[in-house]
A and B are shown apart, each in its own frame.
Chain A
Amino acid sequence: MMNMLADLQSFFAVYPEKWSSWSPDILRAIRTTLWITAGSFLLGLVIGLFLAIARLSKSAMIRNAATVYVEIARGVPALVVLFLIYFGLPPLGIAFDAIPSAILGLGLSSGGYFAEIFRAGIIATHRGQREAGHAVGMTPFQIYRFIIIPQATRIALPPLVNMLITLLKDSSLASLISAPEIMLRAKDISSTDFLPLHILVLAGVIYLAMAVPLSLLARIIERRMFAGLGARL
């Protein structure tokens, strides 16, 4: 027991010692991780919104095209999409840097999930709302812009926060196409300092420190929403 405590103590003693040499790289890497997460979240959000609306379209062709996109995006690993963009496109004359590739790949691939989240939100908004908008002379675009989307977004808020967590975690895949985010730096440092366990555990703790507050937020929003519903019922 004493032995284990001493081991643990010496394990953690490495961190204050190494922090000054690790911190510049790590902090910059955290910023890159946040960029990739935010960029792919926004891209996925926009794609998902369009897909969700397209799937409720009157035209069967638009509907089917959107469904095919969603099925493929949800059936293919994000990592494969990243490889396809970063390694597969340059021979065809289209080359992106690692970070834009990561944002594009994660955005395209998460778009399918965003679409499902929004679709659930749109369906949950009562049909009468749409008819009411129609009755007061709104165009379909106005109905979406002022009636459906504001309400659907509220319903979709908890799953959207969960999606943000998923993208934060998936941004780690960008290290495999050499985007200089947390995991790439962690791997670099572990191969120069021979302290793989220390740096990788630190990487895990950094992800946790970002993910846990978000998952608490999702839970709080969910509870508030149900409380609101309960009061109304």
Chain B
Amino acid sequence: MLPDLLQRIPTYLQVLLQGAGITVVITIGALLIAVSVGLTLAVLRTFRLPFVSGFVNVYVEVFRGIPPLTLLFIIYFGLTYIGIRLSPLPAAIIGLGLSGGAYCTEIFRSGISALHHGQREAAAAIGMTPMMAMRYVILPQAFRITLPPLGNYAVGLVKDTAVASAVAAPEILFRARNLTTETFDTALIYVLVACLYFAMTFPIARWVGHLEKKRSSWS
């Protein structure tokens, strides 16, 4: 029983690890979109233009209130109705990126508002434009504050990529499902899948814990 088990593990892992590559691609792609969207919207909101701030708030509420799976289905299955056909991988990256954008907006917003307003005033006093103040004074500091929550978001994102299997993106869970239909070895395969995800999220979670500890020892 046991030697047999040990024999099966490497064959399964070989397939699953190929999926892990796709999981990483989806994670990085979605992370880039989410951070760009979040940074843009959070900065836009600081200008306090009524229409723009309203748009940002609606975006955040909508994309935080809709499950990533629903968003993914809207993009992958729904948009075909109006003639937009995306392959699974881009659909997954865009869907997870857009919903992550809402979280990142909140993360950057709290990072920016955590800075003392004297910083902005000082920048204005030495003649910086609001754009320059943002670029050279606010964002570099806000970014450091937002690193731990961004890390937590990245952990959540790695886990959320599993829903991409539902639109047939060939990531870990999708490969696992294919494996189980061939072998019926469901228990072992899904345990291996769980281990693989854990191996990816745990280092990030550890890094976040390390950052937070460092921060609390400063204050």
Contacts and interface: CB of A to CB of B under 8 A. Distances in A.
A207 interface: yes
Contacts of B198: 72, 75-76
A169 B160 CA distance: 12
Contacts of B61: 208, 212, 215
A176 B164 CA distance: 11
Nearest to B199: A75
Interface string B85-100: 0000000000000000
A80 B65 contact: no
A173 B160 CA distance: 10
A169 B73 CA distance: 14
A183 B65 contact: no
A183 B69 contact: yes
Interface string B187-198: 101110110011
Contact of B187 (A74, A89, A170): A89
A201 interface: yes
Given A201-B74, A204-B70, A196 B80 contact: yes
A196 B78 contact: yes
Interface residues of B, number: 44
Q: Is the interface of A mostly helix, strand, loop or mixed?
A: helix
Nearest to B62: A208
Contacts of B186: 83, 87-88, 90-91
Contacts of A173: 67, 69, 163
20 contacts: A71-B202, A75-B197, A76-B194, A78-B159, A79-B165, A80-B193, A81-B194, A83-B176, A91-B185, A92-B187, A165-B65, A169-B65, A169-B66, A176-B69, A183-B67, A200-B70, A207-B66, A208-B62, A208-B66, A211-B64
Given A197-B74, A197-B79, 9 more contacts: A75-B202, A84-B191, A88-B186, A92-B187, A169-B65, A169-B68, A186-B70, A196-B80, A198-B81
